[in-house]
Amino acid sequence: MMIKKFFLLTAIALLPTIKVIGEGREVINFNFDWTFNDSLKVNLPHDFQIGQPWVAPDANERADNSDLAANVKSRLSARGFKEMGKGVYEKVFTPDNAWRGKRVLLDFEGIMLVGDVWLNGKHIGGTDYGYLGFDCDISRQLIYGKENTIKVVADTRKENNSRWYTGGGLYRDVHLIVTDPQQHFTRHPLYITTPVVSKQQATVIVDAEMACYLKVNKLHVGTKISDNSGRVVYEKKKTIAFNRGQKINEHRIDSITLAAPQLWSPDSPHLYHAEVTLYREDGTVADRVTTRFGVRKIEYSPAFGLKVNGEKVLLKGIANHHTLGALGAAAYPRAIEKRLQLLKDFGFNHVRTSHNPYSESFLELCDSLGFLVVDELYDKWLTQYAGGRVEWTNLWQHDVPEFVKRDRNHPSVVMWSLGNELQTYWSLPFADWGVTPYRLQNTLLKRYDNTRPVTVAMHPRGRNQMTDSLPAPLVMETDIASYNYRYMYFPGDSRRFPHLIFYQSEANTAMMGPNFYEMDLDKVVGLAYWGMIDYLGESNGWPAKGWAQGIFDISLEPKPIAWLLRSMFKPNEPVVHIGIVDSDDNLVWNDVMVGTKKMSHHWNRKSGCMVDLYTYTNADEVELFVNKRSVGKKTNNRSNPKERNRIKWNKVAYEAGAIEAVARTGGKVVARHRIETTGDTKVLKLEADKSCWKADGTDLMHVRVSAVDGKGRQVPSEQRQLTFAVDGKAEIVGVINGDITSPELTVGHSRRLYQGTATVILRAQREAGNITLHVNAPGLKEKTLRLSTVASH
């Protein structure tokens, strides 16, 4: 048996407005008080494209995204029908005199899609690939005693440079970092691994990259490790040799043995905190950096797929783009957290970052919540899809180290992916279907991390160019054989090539069930369902503004089919849910059927009609009742993957009242789902999504508004227009409902109800205080919600 073993990683703490790490390093949040396009005052993160008007296709364009190579291609359907553009940001600040003689860096986590930075009129840096960050040393450009001006230009205007909505602008965090100029840690300096892991003890290796411009042959360093409760479990200072001729050295700082370690896993995501300090000769602190990390072991094998800490784990995942519904690409940690919590509740444990690196806060949240991540660097290895202004062949040498060094300490990251659906391109560099570009990148990647496998997701049409009976040549190079949709090739390819380890890197909703149960779940790594949350871009046709084949709509409301997936991903939780068929959708994408039946879960129907419906369940059987009269009992056909957990009921007569599904296992009732005919709307109901709201200038509160009848039941037909107003220490940053075809923008103070609900998103200010949200709709009494924010520490 071949077993590939890969060990640990890290995670970096979210930064408050000002964070001073000991005496050495100051990190200042630079997200606030920017000016956009000379007039608008904005705080970051900010997506300048989300507020632009929708642009309908011209008469000579396709309305959809079906043929990008054709002369009549749709120019903007892939990009969410938003016009591409340029955004100019400026920030004025006066440098602190305490920074004189210090090393001062301006750090950008990303500028979408490409960007350039000026300080006081001088160009100081930029990015050609906006999904990765960079910093600029501005130590010598600062003018003390006067106002300094930072100018950033973000540009998305390169035509056809992405296949989805990317957003635009300063969509992630910006920080100012101040350190000692003579002795300091470099960018992403720490590398923490756990090569030996058991319940009894673990070995923790701490490596760091440091710069020193003094005439010394040794450096003084210290390491402190704390557990989740803050208890110090290790602390030590030591002196290490330094090659002063190199100026920048990588060093083994410490090898630590932890007794009875708290292991990181999806079910128990325990995290440790590492603090590494660089001391001056006189014992004062020159620089200090911190990171979180997890103690865990991962193993891969054709015999069992993936194990975490010696136990089989199946990836049950989602592959989505980085955007966040109403907020566009703006990377708000709370919006990311809300999505992850929803996914976790429905049984997901995995995210594939399709097809670019997500934000640092995303990985920090995955570390904390116990998600397993396939971290993806690129879409195609083509200039067109990597920013568009610099040849991809000149980018990857910079991008790979930045990507890996940024993310390698996160325990959530269990696999690297270098690209997606590219093995069909003969036009790739070296004209060998991607083999040589992969080998070059893989060699560089493993220079910076050799604790995880590396893969590339394969196009469903991309088998071997000589014969479809063999995998693509690129499959034979990767550590993991990642197939988009074509799980049916796993058995045959496994027989021919027993060393292959299989992962279904994309799976379609239309085949949900068979594409899960027809795999050998004991042997595969797992799967990632494509587009489980509806998103902007990749529209199948105007007026739809994006992908609508998910199990959650763009406002995060679950669709009925979400409970099919829940029944699969959470087999030990009894599930039953009714989904009533409204229409069929036969959408085909990349030669893959992705369309699903359009369903709803309400009992407000036309009198006398007949309905077809499904009951989604993991129980043995379901009995269906209409107004307490049994329609019949049906058994869950677990022997047929196409029918398992989905029971079809044809031509059920509608009667106003109630329909109820009762699920039984072993003859005992284990779950029920009842839906009732509602009355007319009587009042609006407002629900805040969390209890603690931080006044940090970035934290969000999502407020769900629903129209309910006299018994408090949501009225599915209600479509009244809502208007919002807020008093106090917050502002409205997004409005959304589940209608992907809506002509309304997701910014502003108004939104129509859709299927009886809509959501307004509030952003806290930096001063704690009381907030009142006012919601009005024609013919209904105003509804208010009183909230408050607490001081952020």
The mean pLDDT of the chain is 94
Q: Do 252 and 268 contact (CB within 8 A), yes or no?
A: no
CA angle 255, 257, 263 (to 5 degrees): 115
Residue 5's pLDDT is what? 44
pTM of the model: 0.95
**Conformational region of residue 146, where left means phi above 0, alpha means psi within -120 to 50, and beta covers everything else:** beta
pLDDT at 393: 97
Instruction: Give the pLDDT band of residue 10 (cuts 50, 70, 90).
Output: very low
| C-beta of residue 385 within 8 angstroms of C-beta of residue 379 | yes
Distance CA 587, CA 582 (A): 16
Residue 328 region by backbone torsions, left for phi larger than 0, else alpha for psi between -120 and 50, else beta: left
The SS3 call for residue 310 is: coil
Of the candidates 544, 619, 551, 543, the one whose C-alpha atom is nearest the C-alpha of residue 579 is 551
Residues 120, 118: Cα–Cα separation, whole Å: 6
The confidence band for 586, taking pLDDT boundaries of 50, 70 and 90, is low
At residue 759 the predicted structure's pLDDT band, cuts being 50, 70 and 90, is very high
CB atoms within 10 A of CB 482: 26
Buried b (16+ CB within 10 A) or exposed e, 605-618: beeeeebebbbbbb
Confidence band for 460, pLDDT divided at 50, 70 and 90: confident
Query: Residue 469: its pLDDT value, please?
Result: 75
pLDDT band, residue 9 (cuts 50/70/90): very low
Please name the residues in contact with 463: beta carbons below 8 A apart, sequence gap of 6 or more: 469, 470, 471, 472, 489
CA nearest to 342, candidates 708, 725, 690, 783: 690
Note the pLDDT of residue 17.
Answer: 35
Average pLDDT over residues 435-448: 98
Query: Where does 579-686 have alpha helices with state H?
Result: none
Angle, helix 435-448 to helix 396-407, in steps of 10 degrees: 40
Asked if pLDDT for residue 1 goes beyond 50, the answer is no
Which stretch of 379-393, 497-511, 592-606 has the lowest confidence by average pLDDT?
592-606
At 415 the pLDDT is 99
The H or E element spanning position 297 is strand 285-301
d(CA 714, CA 755): 9
Provide mean pLDDT across the span 171-185: 98
Mean pLDDT of 56-72: 67
Residue 790, both tokens: 């607490």
Per DSSP, what are the bridge partners of residue 653?
610
**Where residue 466 falls among pLDDT bands split at 50, 70, 90?**
low
CA 124 to chain centre: 30
pLDDT at 61: 82
pLDDT tens digits, 646-696: 999 999 999 999 999 999 999 999 999 999 999 999 999 999 999 999 999
CA-angle at 283, arms to 282 and 285, nearest 5°:
115
Residue 232: strand pairing partners: 226
